[in-house]
Amino acid sequence: MSNYIELTVEVQPREQGSDVLIAQLSELGYESFVESSSGFLAYILQDTFDEGSVKAMFEEYSSIFQVHYFTKIIPQQNWNKEWESNFQPIDIEGKCFIHAPFHEPKNDYQFNIVIEPKMSFGTGHHDTTQLMISNLMNLDVSKKSLLDMGCGTGILAILASKLGANPILAIDIDEWSFQNTIENLEKNKITNVSTLQGDASLLHLRKFDIILANINKNLLLRDLKFYCHSLESNGHLLISGFFITDAEELTLKATSLGLHFINSSISNDWAVLHFAL
């Protein structure tokens, strides 16, 4: 059985640096990430660990972020214990409790969501995910068709189902995200969510009352036209995955396509924008 490498990364500024570096490390084969007070932890099989690639990637961003890192070997038999000790459940507004299978659910919450914590994206720890969850809980989605674009772990689709949305489609271009969404739908006993692997081109001739897209600025700017065409009359669009400094550019693009700005929310320089058609 193979051992794992735990890569501890300390980065400043933490929020922006962690988001960018986690995305880069995932492309290098890192399987799991856990946020920390000074950065994050990243995990990869020892057999595929290449310190040269890591060092080169950090050097590439040295003019933007201050980065320090160190590694340690985790024996395979201790992997689950190490992972569980780092992954903490999440409370959102006292209404939504997001936890891993090894945590006990809390029955005094309106919504309990089980997420298999294999990566940080979409587990609920990131500000953008929490912003989307908060906004979704304040939106009337009952009996309305909904799209979770860039679904990650499927957490937004799962919550939408619990809120009464139906039918629901979850799409992600990444194979891991597509498979993990299916796994998490099963863990939460959600049966009214369909899943597809691909990009916004899959939206051709599809219509939704509500579209959620927590991706990144560049993809949002590219695909806003698809979301606009796929919204039903009086439909709502929630987008996140970008810094508040990008909100004006995205708002201008959205309004040029005929969308109307409703409101915005901010958390640690990350933003969510709410539009309606």
pLDDT, tens digit (0-9, with 9 covering 90-100), for 37-78: 789 888 888 888 999 999 999 999 999 999 999 999 887 655
Instruction: Tell whether the model's pLDDT for residue 118 goes beyond 70.
Output: no
Does 153 or 252 have the greater pLDDT score? 252
Q: What are phi and psi of 206, to 5 degrees?
A: -95, 145
Cα–Cα nearest to 162, from 185, 181, 135, 194: 185
Write out pLDDT tens, residues 233-258. Answer: 999 999 998 888 899 999 999 999 99
Q: What are phi and psi of 240, to 5 degrees?
A: -155, -175
Say what the pTM is. Answer: 0.75
What is the helix (H) or strand (E) element at residue 183, kind and residue range? helix 175-187
Cα separation, 142 vs 162, in Å, equals: 9
Q: What are phi and psi of 183, to 5 degrees?
A: -60, -45
Cα separation, 33 vs 153, in Å, equals: 13
DSSP 171: E
Provide the pLDDT confidence category of residue 117 given band limits of 50, 70 and 90: low
Helix axes 155-162, 175-187, angle to 10 degrees: 30
Tokens representing 215? 């991706």
Cα separation, 213 vs 205, in Å, equals: 18
Cα–Cα nearest to 221, from 249, 263, 248: 249
Kindly list the structural domains of the chain, giving each domain's residue range(s) and its CATH number in brackets, ordered by start.
4-85 (3.30.70), 121-276 (3.40.50.150)
Write out pLDDT tens, residues 196-213. Answer: 999 999 998 899 999 999
